């Protein structure tokens, strides 16, 4: 008869994030000894690391912080939402974020070489996967600087950690700037712009959109004389969908984001937006 209870299974699952059957097998093998079972889970997880390499990691979380005017954000992935909300995965993700801040890394490859607890972060990723029994990956890293940087994290489900994260920076530090920066960060989370201003949109993309608008209007049988105005109108629609300062502001669609920033006396200097798995 097993020397453990349902409460022991629950406690070990919360400590490791491992599946119920894996926890039960480990407790069986350890004769109910929780610490020995934990060790067995980690050992078996390390042995299975190679097998996990090809698995998909579509779940996870986004973590972000701002230190001395620099916003840092990471996306850390796993295989299931069960692991994504487990304390060990959240703790590991916070360790990844801390390493990103301390190292000053600007890309994932550099971050994975950063030393954490006396070893490269890449080794800790493998160990985290061993403990959790799933493939774990550090997918993305962003750094955004400004006079004010707002870090906004959004939960798409109350049962999960943040799935959407935004860093948004402006060029002036004031109370109005801080309010506007936060409001626009929330807007970015919802509206997912691609560029800050029209100047950032590649010229070839603009020309492609212009050509498509022209060909579409012609296919619809629009009058030749009306084509230039129709094309420019549709191109403006493209900008409103993709360019931050041109987008209707989420809290008041009568204003553009650019008008909101202008009223606060600031200009946007950059942003980053992550959504887990996308």
For residue range 103-128, what is the model confidence (pLDDT) as tens digits? 999 999 999 999 998 999 999 998 88
CATH number at 33 reads 1.10.8.10
CATH assignment of the domain containing 159: 3.30.479.20
Q: Are residues 32 and 112 in the same domain?
A: no
Say if 211 falls within a structural domain.
no
Model pLDDT for residues 134-172, shown as the tens digit of each residue: 889 999 999 999 999 999 999 999 999 999 999 999 999
pTM of the model: 0.79
Cα separation of 274 and 137, whole Å?
15
Domain membership flag for residue 139: yes
- d(Cα 18, Cα 11) in Å, to the nearest integer? 11
Domain-terminating residue out of 123, 152, 168? 168
Query: Per the structure, how many domains does the chain have?
Result: 2
277, pLDDT greater than 90 = no
The answer to the question of residue 28 being in a domain is yes
Regarding whether 139 and 67 lie in a shared domain, the answer is: yes
Beta strands in 136-235, from DSSP E residues, in sequence order:
137-145, 148-154, 164-170
Residue 113 forms part of a structural domain: yes
Q: Helices 34-47 & 20-29, crossing angle to 10 degrees?
A: 120
158 and 80 belong to one structural domain: yes
98-104 contacts: CB < 8 A, separation 24 or more? 100/72, 100/74, 100/141, 101/65, 101/67, 101/72
pLDDT tens per residue, range 58-96 = 899 999 999 999 999 999 999 999 999 999 999 999 999
Buried b (16+ CB within 10 A) or exposed e, 181-208: bbbbbbbbbebbbebbeeeebeeeeeee
Is the separation of the CB atoms in 122 and 92 below 8 Å? no
Q: How many residues does the chain have?
A: 278
Residues 71 and 117 occupy one common structural domain: yes
DSSP state of 251: T
> 68 and 39, same structural domain?
no
CA nearest neighbour of 128 among 73, 81, 87: 87
Q: Which domain, by its residues, includes 159? A: 59-168
Residue 258 belongs to a domain: no
Residues 65 and 29 in one domain: no
């Amino acid at each position: 008869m097993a020397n453990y209870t349902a409460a022991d299974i629950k406690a070990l699952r919360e400590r490791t994030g491992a599946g119920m059957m894996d926890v039960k097998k480990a407790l069986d093998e350890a004769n109910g000894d929780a610490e020995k079972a934990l060790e067995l889970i980690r050992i078996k997880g390390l042995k299975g690391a190679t097998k996990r390499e090809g698995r998909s990691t579509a779940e996870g979380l986004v973590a972000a912080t701002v230190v001395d005017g620099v916003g840092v954000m990471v996306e850390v992935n796993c295989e299931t939402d069960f692991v994504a909300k487990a304390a060990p995965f959240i703790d590991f993700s916070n360790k990844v974020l801390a390493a990103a801040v301390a190292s000053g890394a600007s890309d994932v490859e550099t971050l994975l070489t950063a030393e954490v607890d006396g070893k490269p972060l890449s080794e800790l990723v493998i160990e985290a996967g061993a403990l959790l029994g799933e493939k774990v990956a550090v997918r993305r890293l962003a750094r955004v600087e400004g006079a004010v940087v707002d870090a906004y994290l959004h939960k798409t489900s109350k049962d999960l950690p943040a799935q959407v994260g935004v860093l948004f920076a402006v060029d002036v530090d004031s109370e109005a700037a801080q309010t506007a920066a936060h409001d626009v960060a929330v807007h970015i989370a919802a509206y997912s712009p691609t560029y800050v201003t029209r100047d950032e949109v590649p010229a070839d993309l603009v020309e492609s959109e212009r050509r498509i608008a022209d060909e579409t209007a012609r296919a619809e049988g629009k009058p030749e004389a009306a084509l230039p105005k129709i094309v420019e109108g549709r191109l403006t629609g493209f900008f409103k969908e993709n360019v931050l300062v041109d987008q209707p502001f989420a809290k008041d669609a009568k204003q553009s984001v650019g008008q909101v920033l202008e009223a606060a006396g600031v200009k946007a200097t950059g942003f980053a937006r992550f959504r887990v798995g996308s």
